[in-house]
Structure 1
Amino acid sequence: MSFVADSPTVMVVDDHPIWRDAVARDLADDGFEVVATADGVASARRRAAVVRPDVVLMDMHLPDGDGAAATVGVLEVSPSSRVLVLSASGEREDVLQAVKAGATGYLVKSASRTELADAVRATAQGRAVFTPSLAGLVLGEYRRIALGPKAGDSGPTLTERETEVLRHVAKGLTAKQIAAKLSVSHRTVENHVQATFRKLQLANRVELTRYAIEHGLDKEP
């Protein structure tokens, strides 16, 4: 059995210090080597680049973005890491965004200490682990992707705000200009843009603008 399977290194990402420290302590007591903790998207990416953990235990709601964005950032700087989401949210959108961002598994925070330890070991071994109530949801999404778009299927569904932001991007507005128009923060606009990138599987703003123009989103509704 490999070292990773026996005692994987773990990084815990959560913005609540008491919860984060308790989880890190429990994992250490169960024989895992907790090599780092982080409280947000930026710190998770920065620390993952240094410690390159086998498993990243990821919360979905962080002060400077979401767990999906943090997952993308971590995997960019540490491609060999595997991300296991541990979140209070079991919402469909959160689960699917995490999986599409590259997460290997998803547990809700009601999981027991034993279930968490088993899930971390399984994740380190490359197995997908999901809270039972979420497994069917993820399987259904994989099946939908594998079958491809059906007749009449318009493709990924953007929220009303994501569509609004995309329309302004297509007009050439910057994130700061869009934020001013919509009376939201610059960070909120960037989060919507990143979510749209993931949903539409686009790489940059040029492709995003092309998509918007092709779908008539550069014109007022």
Structure 2
Amino acid sequence: MSSDLLANALVRERGYEAVAIQADELLYSLSSSEVDLVVIGAEVNSKSGDAFELVETLSQAYPNANAVILLNQTSNESVIQAFRSGARGVFSRQQPMAEFLDCVEHVRKGFIWAGREQTNSLLQALKSIPAPNPFTAGTSPSLTARELEVVQYAAKGKTNKIIASELGLSEHTVKNYLFRAFEKLGVSSRVELLFYLTLKGHTFSASRIESVDETLVVE
């Protein structure tokens, strides 16, 4: 789905005023006109920027402009990162156009939108997080300095290979640190880890797994 195709569909099917622009023109366009919603396209391994960081900048500078991130491929981690960066909707290019139109319609009305599969995964991850212990509220399991460092990298969406390279460790060692940290925190996956850290008030910069390819502005 190209940005021009999406913009034309919104004009034709919903009667919106829509225009496709490049990512580097987004903030300038927002400064000169009122925009209700922005759809930011992302491509894996693109060099043109970072979709998550752009959404984060957008949500801080223009809080009234709701954002949808359009991904080539969605994973549980990328969906969580998208919402944590400030997006109110996440859409996969593999989904049909009719669902994209529904996504835009819901987000423009102030709702949160994700595909059925992603929603089910997010709900399952939330259910898997241990309930807070009222007798230890405000406390966290004790992680070693290295375990915490590895967990922070994992929370940014980095793979074990990248973590190992940046920290000068082997992938096997990184895997062991994560395993011990997961046991202490009571989580079983990176998705649950992201939810746990978010609930505990931890903040991390957005991941660079996905990067900007195109931007659609809906006025």
Per the shorter chain, which TM-score range? 0.5 to 0.7
Residue 175 of structure 2 is matched in structure 1 by none
Residue 60 of structure 2 is matched in structure 1 by 76
Query: Equivalent of 1:109, from 93, 101, 106?
Result: 93
String of CA shifts for 1:104-140, please: whole Å, max 9, x gaps: 1111112222211111111011111111110123335
Q: Do 1:45 and 1:70's aligned partners in 2 also have CA atoms closer than 8 Å?
A: no
CA RMSD of aligned residues (A): 3.4
Task: Give distance in 1, aligned partners of 2:109 and 2:38.
Answer: 13
Residue 96 of structure 1 is matched in structure 2 by 80
1:60 aligns with 2:60: no
In structure 2, the CA distance between the partners of 1:92 and 1:202, relative to structure 1 (3 Å rule), is closer
Structure 2 gap segments, 5+ residues each: 133-137, 169-197, 206-219
Query: Equivalent of 1:201, from 193, 200, 203?
Result: 203
String of CA shifts for 1:8-52, please: whole Å, max 9, x gaps: xxxxxxxxxx81111111111021111x43333x33233233334
Percent sequence identity over aligned pairs: 17
Tell me the secondary structure at the aligned position of residue 74 of structure 2.
Answer: coil
Task: Give distance in 2, aligned partners of 1:166 and 1:44.
Answer: 35
In structure 2, the CA distance between the partners of 1:75 and 1:146, relative to structure 1 (3 Å rule), is farther
Q: Do 2:89 and 2:114's aligned partners in 1 also have CA atoms closer than 8 Å?
A: yes
Deviation at 1:157, TM superposition (A): 4.4
1:129 aligns with 2:113: yes
Q: Do 2:153 and 2:163's aligned partners in 1 also have CA atoms closer than 8 Å?
A: no
String of CA shifts for 1:61-95, please: whole Å, max 9, x gaps: 35422211110122222110111122211122321
Tell me the secondary structure at the aligned position of residue 2 of structure 2.
Answer: helix
Structure 1 gap segments, 5+ residues each: 1-17, 168-197, 204-221
In structure 2, the CA distance between the partners of 1:97 and 1:146, relative to structure 1 (3 Å rule), is farther
Aligned AA for 2:62?
S
Query: Equivalent of 2:25, from 25, 40, 43?
Result: 43
Instruction: Say how many residue pairs are matched.
Output: 154
Aligned AA for 1:65?
G
Aligned AA for 1:38?
I
Task: Give distance in 2, aligned partners of 1:71 and 1:138.
Answer: 20
Q: Do 1:44 and 1:70's aligned partners in 2 also have CA atoms closer than 8 Å?
A: no
Task: Give distance in 2, aligned partners of 1:202 and 1:68.
Answer: 12
Q: Do 2:42 and 2:69's aligned partners in 1 also have CA atoms closer than 8 Å?
A: yes
Task: Give distance in 2, aligned partners of 1:108 and 1:38.
Answer: 19
Tell me the secondary structure at the aligned position of residue 57 of structure 1.
Answer: strand
Residue 3 of structure 2 is matched in structure 1 by 20
Task: Give distance in 2, aligned partners of 1:21 and 1:112.
Answer: 16
Task: Give distance in 1, aligned partners of 2:5 and 2:106.
Answer: 21
